[in-house]
Amino acid sequence: MDLQAASRALILRAAESPAVAGFVRRHGLRLGASRFVAGVTVDDCVQVLRSLEARGFLTNTTLLGERVTNESEVAQTLDQYLELVDRLQREGLGTYLSVKLSQLGLDLGEELAYRTLRTLVDRAAARGRFVRTDMEESWRVDATLRIYRRLRADGYDNVGVVLQSYLYRSAEDLRQLLPLRPNVRIVKGAYLESPTVAFPRKADVDRNYKVLVEAAFLGGATVAVATHDERIHAHVVAFTRQHGIPPHAFQFQMLYGVRPGLQQDLLGRGYRVLVATPFGPDWYRYFMRRLAERPANVGFVLRNLVRR
């Protein structure tokens, strides 16, 4: 395991500590979480989305939260998302939704998650909006892909999927999805996984990322390149030029608060850049995964701690 992977694993394990969780939840927004989260309320998020779109960025948003424990919580989450779809419509924003199936009841039953997501996708379709199902831990991949395929079979084309380059299985998953001409976001992966299912070395994760992106482009998928890695950006730029794929045919996707200068640079070069803009009171796990993805961000938090 390389140093970056070891640092990432350490941060993710620390995130499970009740002491760490308690401290970060009490002080995290002041220590730096607000850099990565577009506020706690819908009103907070709408202000950020409006600012980003005024500058030419595309946007999506996520109501932060995971691991619902009963059907009442699933229904509450669905209601919040349905209200969010309607609010975005009233505000005239082009923002689409990115949702976790664990929020929509997947751990309580695949059929429940399917019905819940279908209700949301149906409302989004009526409003001319897109919904992407995020990919979570490896043990949820099969169910997530089955639900995606069911929605496509139901006739919904306003739904997309995510594949993670650190999983060994993703190349085969992509091969099986390509006949659907999917809208697919390629990410590296942010969960702590066993080396039995995921590449432990960053170099292998990066290599597989390029393999997936190239196969997705050549297979006719609609591609979202979701990484802050400039070397991969350069590879994608060269590859798309070589194959005559215009800048407007795909997206670079990056996270709110992470390398905004790079986001602006890509936008200035004529590429479509989407800023993923999550919000909500349950921001803790999201924040810790952002630290784990880029351990240098821990220094940002520590500097804020010293200034307190």
Considering the candidates 134, 140, 173, 290, report the single residue annotated as catalytic.
134
185 annotated active-site: yes
> Long-range pairs for 8-16 at CB < 8 Å and ≥24 separation?
8/192, 8/292, 8/293, 8/295, 9/192, 9/292, 11/288, 11/291, 11/292, 11/295, 11/298, 12/191, 12/192, 12/288, 12/289, 12/292, 13/192, 14/288, 15/284, 15/285, 15/288, 15/289, 15/292
SS (H, E, C) 209-230: HHHHHHHHHHCCCEEEEECCCH
134 annotated active-site: yes
Considering the candidates 129, 132, 140, 185, report the single residue annotated as catalytic.
185
Residues 6 or more apart whose Cβ sits within 8 Å of residue 38: 44, 45, 48, 49, 61, 256, 277, 278, 279
Query: Can you read off the two tokens belonging to residue 156?
Result: 């919904």
Catalytic residues, by residue number, are 134, 185
